[in-house]
């Protein structure tokens, strides 16, 4: 039975109300010819199914109705309680079996780690992302940990920051949808972001790239010093190159055998460029193809594992005309 699970390659933009913006974007990226880590999405209707099976739907709705956003501590306490109930909920046997079967088909001896990522939407609206609001988990190992992180991913719909975001946007809490995505983990040597228009100057004839060693989490979070490049969009010539003294990167937590950690960049790599000229040209050409396919100026997350470029996510750059 696969009624709650969709392989990424079968997802289109028309599925956004079932799979959220991130998963819909990944499906379209595959259609655009980008190399996307393989995986699957647990559709948004799975969470209500889990809550109903545990008789939690009415209880959580009742708790949500008591939220007073003038009392931050009370919101923290109520949303924490809601999350704890979701994390402790039993996944119905048919759904659990389906998730485990898809997970086993995805991993192999050489590719045993996955990422569990949040994909969101708002029911019956065009809203399909809340950047930075929901949780993502890297280097997840084994089916038990996948199911655990799946629950935590569902529960992140009820972080205090997510509840406040819905409140400030006048979105009723029951309209929030979350659809976890499970993908093979890219153990990146270097990663970062690419903009097919300059987000600062608004110049649409430039491509801007920021990169760091390890996972792109350090770049996206703003916690690292990053290499910075500006390309001419038409020719892909490098117009500007700033190689930072990189101090911090995000890598697998070897001590735990799974999960991620921050660590100091080794001195011999601190001032070494994270990207070669050939990689910059490949990134620029890939960004142009994605921009042309989606027909908007794109904010793209990418990662290099060895010589292979993977595209992890794309969204429209806000406040820039196409």
Q: Does the pLDDT value for residue 268 go beyond 70?
A: yes
Are the CB atoms for 26 and 11 separated by under 8 Å?
Answer: yes
Find tokens 């545990």 and name the residue.
54
Q: How far is CA 9 from CA 30, 38, 77, 88, 142, in A?
A: 6, 8, 39, 31, 23
- Pick from 86, 100, 78: which is nearest to 5 by CA? 100
Predicted TM-score of the model (pTM): 0.91
Q: Give the three-class secondary structure for 246.
A: coil
What is the CATH T-level fold of the domain 5-184, as seen in this structure? Answer: Dna Ligase; domain 1 (3.30.1490)
Confidence of residue 318 (pLDDT cuts 50, 70, 90): confident
Rg over CA atoms, the chain = 20
Q: Under CATH, which number does the domain 190-316 receive?
A: 3.30.470.20
Q: In the Cβ-directed half-sphere of 136, how many Cα atoms lie within 13 Å?
A: 24
Confidence of residue 221 (pLDDT cuts 50, 70, 90): confident
DSSP letter assigned to residue 112: -
**pLDDT reported for residue 126:** 66
Confidence of residue 129 (pLDDT cuts 50, 70, 90): low
Reported in sequence order, the residue ranges of the chain that DSSP labels E, i.e. its strands, are 5-7, 39-42, 113-117, 120-122, 137-141, 176-178, 181-184, 190-195, 206-213, 227-232, 238-242, 248-252, 260-264, 298-305, 308-316
Q: Does the pLDDT value for residue 304 go beyond 90?
A: yes
d(CA 149, CA 157): 13
The four Cα atoms 19, 25, 27, 28 give a dihedral, to 10 degrees, of 140
12-66 pLDDT, tens digit per residue, is 999 999 999 999 999 999 999 999 999 999 999 999 999 999 999 999 999 999 9
d(CA 247, CA 269): 9
Q: Chain-centre distance of CA 216, in angstroms? A: 11
Domain ranges, ordered by start, for the chain? 5-184, 190-316
- Pick from 220, 222, 233: which is nearest to 286 by CA? 233
Confidence of residue 111 (pLDDT cuts 50, 70, 90): confident
d(CA 208, CA 194): 6
Mean pLDDT of 137-160: 94
């Amino acid at each position: 039975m696969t009624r709650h699970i969709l392989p990424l390659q079968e997802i289109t933009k028309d599925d956004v109300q079932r799979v959220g913006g991130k998963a819909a974007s990944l499906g379209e990226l595959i259609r655009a010819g980008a190399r996307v880590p393989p995986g699957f999405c647990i559709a948004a209707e799975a969470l209500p199914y889990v809550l109903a099976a545990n008789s939690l739907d009415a209880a959580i709705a009742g708790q949500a109705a008591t939220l007073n956003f003038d009392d931050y501590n009370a919101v923290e306490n109520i949303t924490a309680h809601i999350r704890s109930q979701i994390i402790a909920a039993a996944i119905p046997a048919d759904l659990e079996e389906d998730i485990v079967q898809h997970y086993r088909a995805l991993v192999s001896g050489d590719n045993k780690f996955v990422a569990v990522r949040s994909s969101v939407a708002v029911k019956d609206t065009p809203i399909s992302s809340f950047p930075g609001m929901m949780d993502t988990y890297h280097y997840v190992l084994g089916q038990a940990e996948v199911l655990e992180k799946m629950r935590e991913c569902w529960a992140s719909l009820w972080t205090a920051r997510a509840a406040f975001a819905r409140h400030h946007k006048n979105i009723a809490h029951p309209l929030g949808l979350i659809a976890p995505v499970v993908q093979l983990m890219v153990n990146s040597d270097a990663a970062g972001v690419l903009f097919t228009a300059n987000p600062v100057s608004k110049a649409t004839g430039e491509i801007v790239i920021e990169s760091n060693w390890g996972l792109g989490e350090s770049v996206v979070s703003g916690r690292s010093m990053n290499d910075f490049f500006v390309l001419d969009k038409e020719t892909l010539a490098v117009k500007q190159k700033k190689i930072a003294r990189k101090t911090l990167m995000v890598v697998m937590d070897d001590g735990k055998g799974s999960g991620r950690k921050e660590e100091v960049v080794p001195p011999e790599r601190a001032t070494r460029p994270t990207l070669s000229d050939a990689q910059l040209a490949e990134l620029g050409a890939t960004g142009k193809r994605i921009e042309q396919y989606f027909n908007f100026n794109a904010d793209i997350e990418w990662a290099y594992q060895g010589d292979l470029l993977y595209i992890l996510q794309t969204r429209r750059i806000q406040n820039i005309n196409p």
